[in-house]
Amino acid sequence: MRIKIYFLFFISLIFNDLSAQKPKNIIFLIGDGMGYNQMKVCEYYYQMQHIFSRWTNYWVSTYNADGFYNSDSTYNNFSYVRKRFTDSAPAATALATGYKAQDGVIGLNENFYRVKNLTEAAKQIGKKAGVVTSVPFCHATPAGFVAHTENRDNYHQIASQMFIESKIDVIIGCGHPDFDNDAKKFTDSSHFEYIYPSIWRELQKNNTELTDYLGKKRKIQSCDGDNIPDAWYFCQETSEFFDVAEGKKTYKRFFGIPKVYETLQLGRNPNKKSNSEVPPLSILAKSALNILSKNNSQGFFLMIEGGAIDWACHNGMKDRLIEEVKSFSETVETVVQWVEQNGGWEENLVIITADHETGYLTDISMNESVYNADSLKNFHILDVKNEGKNTISRMQFLQVHRLKSYVYNHTNQLVKLFVKGAGSEMFEKKLNEYSEMQLNFDKLRRSYYIDNTDIPKILFDFLK
């Protein structure tokens, strides 16, 4: 009898493990600063629905190593989420490593110990890996998935780690030293904030020896495990990004940097309709998908960030916020199209979330006294109202920065997570664990929620 019980228990373990189909490819999309309302205002403005809106979805807490999220305080006190908010560096670290970190910290846990991230885990099991962003390639979110440093502003150190120490296959992002935010050549000298001159020159020559940020020449890594350094192919031409996205060209190891300074669109002159000179995020994402999947039976891990959603909210730019969320939404559509042509949802797992909300975006009718006075708060009390096509007059940002009154800051609100594809049921399993333990129930959203660190912990299981 006892043997029979052990046998059944053993079978259930195997079955349980087998049922969680492991995805061959994991595509992790992050809308920086993209809270619930940021997604909704874009839908209302275009009277559309994001392709992911009806996917299985969850609420996620985002606080950092010094923070916390309390459901009762959130429910009772409008200003609770105005404090204890994270910045993008520890949020990216949490999403990439499963560890909470201090503000400004990249790839180190709360005790400043180096912790493994998802691209490193993918490389360790022979998968390919890459990061793509619409802001500088070494900015907090992409850096969180590749680098390890105590200060997110150490852009040169992060760049050095990304190109010389990492084994990843694709890095695509902005930060071009020769072009401004209007995608025009700088008239004065180059702007080497995000990359330093020596490595910039060497990358364009596809060198396998690069100068690190301390000035030391070092051999770069192999990205295919044969211990022979693999040079980065350097791409800056828009036409070439389109060629790669259309599969006309492919490369083994790819560094793509569109000819624009800080971000693809948001930083352009207010009177300029768009930076049509540079490719959209969807094309950068498609380029990465094609390079990572080419001649690759092992699969890959790819992080794609819509980074300027956060910047639009920080600056209270309502029209540019909608533009950035739309660009992110179109990038998800491109990813879905790619998935459906490359193995489908049996082989691919797509995850969409935010690192935090920015600006406390609410409806014009909302304020502290209205919220606090309402003892039986409706689930949608903080939601922006749908006022029809092409109108943005009901949006307001209520998280004024403590120091700079013209700027808005992050909040500690829960954000959304959308999942689809192979292994996605593991998120439901995680949520059930919380509900069984009666933990992590959010009174305002009437729902259990998971923590941002839970996401990579599930993905690491797929990357074993």
Residue showing the smallest CB distance to Zn ion in the complex:
310
Q: How far is the CB of 357 from Zn ion (least distance, A)?
A: 10
Give the nearest distance from C-beta 258 to Zn ion in angstroms.
21
Count of residues engaged in binding Zn ion, rule: CB under 5 A: 1
Q: What is the DSSP letter of 335?
A: H
Distance of CA 7 to the CA centre of its chain: 43
Least distance in angstroms from the C-beta of 2 to Zn ion: 57
Which string of DSSP letters, residue by residue, matches 375-406?
SS--TTTTPPP---TT--TTEEE--B-SS-TT
Name the strand (E) or helix (H) holding 417. Answer: strand 415-421
State both tokens at 78.
């409008």
d(CA 353, CA 282): 17
Shortest separation between residue 273's beta carbon and Zn ion, angstroms: 26
Interface stretch with Zn ion, choices 307-315, 339-347, 361-369, 412-420 (CB under 5 A)? 307-315
**Interface stretch with Zn ion, choices 69-77, 124-132, 213-221, 308-316 (CB under 5 A):** 308-316
Cβ proximity to Zn ion: between 103 and 347 the closer is: 103
**Binding pattern to Zn ion, positions 281-300, x when CB under 5 A?**
--------------------
- Cβ distance to Zn ion smaller for residue 31 or 279: 31
Nearer to Zn ion, 179 or 397 (CB): 397
**Phi and psi angles of residue 224, each rounded to the nearest 5 degrees, phi first:** -120, 15
Are 425 and 20 in contact by the 8 Å Cβ rule? The answer is yes
Distances (CA, A) of 74 to 106, 111, 369: 28, 28, 14
CB closer to Zn ion out of 310 and 324 = 310
Rounded Cα distance, 298 and 286, in Å: 19
The reply on whether position 212 binds Zn ion by CB under 5 A is no
| Least distance CB 392 / Zn ion (angstroms) | 21
CA neighbor of 82 nearest in space, from 320, 340, 405, 413: 413
332 and 49 Cβ atoms separated by less than 8 Å? no
Interface stretch with Zn ion, choices 123-131, 187-195, 303-311, 325-333 (CB under 5 A): 303-311
Q: Does 454 bind Zn ion (CB under 5 A)?
A: no
Lookup: tokens for 352: 């969409």
Smallest gap from Cβ 410 to Zn ion, in A, equals 6
Provide, rounded to whole angstroms, the least separation between the CB of residue 355 and Zn ion.
Answer: 8
Q: How far is the CB of 419 from Zn ion (least distance, A)?
A: 24
Shortest Cβ distance from residue 140 to Zn ion (Å)?
A: 8
Between CA 267 and CA 197 the distance in angstroms is 23
Shorter beta-carbon distance to Zn ion: residue 263 or 293: 263
Instruction: CB nearer to Zn ion: give 180 or 310.
Output: 310
**Which lies closer to Zn ion via its Cβ, residue 310 or residue 451?**
310
Q: Is 310 in the site for Zn ion (CB under 5 A)?
A: yes
Task: Evaluate the CA torsion angle 14, 452, 109, 232 in order and state its sign.
Answer: positive
Q: Which residue has the tokens 């639009």?
A: 312
**Could you tell me which stretch among 59-67, 131-139, 309-317, 389-397 binds Zn ion (CB under 5 A)?**
309-317
CB-wise, 35 or 258, nearer to Zn ion? 35
Distance CA 195, CA 136 (A): 10
Cα separation, 430 vs 443, in Å, equals 19
Measured between its terminal Cα atoms, the distance across the chain in Å is: 34
Separation of alpha carbons 404 and 400, rounded Å: 8
Residue closest to 131 by CA, chosen among 183, 175, 99, 189: 175
Q: Which residues ranging from 125 to 144 are in contact with Zn ion (CB under 5 A)?
A: none
> Least distance from C-beta 358 to Zn ion, angstroms?
5
- 153 versus 277: smaller Cβ distance to Zn ion: 153
Distance from C-alpha of 14 to C-alpha of 76, rounded to nearest angstrom: 45
Nearer to Zn ion by C-beta: 240 or 310?
A: 310
- What does DSSP say about strands 447-451 and 410-411: parallel, antiparallel, or unpaired? unpaired
Tokens of 51: 């392709």
Give the interface segment with Zn ion, choosing from 11-19, 54-62, 310-318, 436-444 (CB under 5 A): 310-318
Closer to Zn ion by Cβ: residue 305 or 363: 305
**Rounded to the nearest whole angstrom, what is the least distance from the CB of residue 33 to Zn ion in the complex?**
5
Query: Among residue numbers 420 through 449, which ones bind Zn ion (CB under 5 A)?
Result: none
Cβ-based neighbours of 153, under 8 Å, separated by 6 or more: 104
What residue ranges bind Zn ion (CB under 5 A)?
310
